[in-house]
């Protein structure tokens, strides 16, 4: 397996954090990084000890779940709680930050925002980032770079295709499956 870049490493951490999300509408993870070290992480979920969307459903007001705290805010608040300065750091996040999180990111002194997925990218947030001199970069996350069992999966798929062929499944019937396996594993 080839060594991943720092950006892919930190983005992988964000996606792992997103798995902790308790929101049923969208799972988001965020990491704050300084000097190639993670100083905080967060995911979208309820306040500590509060009701979670996965247990009680989303509490939606004006098309927003007000039960949850966004991943970016959770990471920033974690720094605040433990007295960790964030000025000059980089925020990695699975999805483009909402307007409110964007303003908090700016006020906290974050210098770089790197996100994996476009999500309702707010034009005003982009304008505020630009006015504040904060670089914003879209780096799609390549989950194949952190799939530690991809070789075994590919071997299994190829073995199954060979068995299907040995059982008499014709090349024209196997071709779409072979193509899907090739696409999945970028072969």
Question: Long-range pairs for 121-128 at CB < 8 Å and ≥24 separation?
Answer: 121/96, 122/96, 122/98, 124/99, 125/96, 125/97, 125/98, 125/99, 128/102, 128/103
Concerning whether 172 is annotated as a catalytic residue, the answer is: no
User: Which residue in 55, 53, 8 sits closest to 27, CA to CA?
Assistant: 53
- Active-site residue (options: 2, 72, 123, 159): 72
Here the tokens at position 61 are 């007001």
Dig out the tokens for 28 from the structure: 């988001």
**Catalytic site residues?**
72
């Amino acid at each position: 397996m080839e060594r991943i870049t720092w950006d892919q490493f930190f983005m992988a951490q964000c996606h792992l954090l997103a798995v902790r999300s308790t929101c049923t509408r969208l799972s988001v993870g965020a990491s704050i990084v300084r000097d190639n070290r993670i100083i905080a992480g967060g995911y979208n979920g309820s306040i500590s000890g509060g009701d979670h969307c996965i247990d009680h459903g989303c509490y939606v007001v004006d098309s927003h779940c007000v039960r949850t705290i966004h991943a970016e805010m959770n990471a920033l608040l974690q720094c605040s709680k433990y007295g960790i300065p964030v000025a000059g750091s980089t925020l990695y996040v699975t999805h483009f930050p909402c307007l409110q999180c964007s303003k908090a990111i700016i006020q906290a002194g974050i210098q770089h925002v790197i996100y994996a997925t476009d999500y309702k990218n707010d034009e005003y947030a982009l304008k505020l980032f630009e006015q504040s001199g904060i670089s914003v970069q879209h780096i799609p996350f390549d989950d194949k770079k952190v799939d530690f069992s991809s070789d075994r999966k590919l071997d299994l798929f190829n073995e199954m295709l060979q068995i299907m062929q040995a059982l008499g499944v014709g090349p024209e019937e196997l071709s779409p499956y072979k193509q899907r396996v090739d696409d999945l594993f970028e072969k």
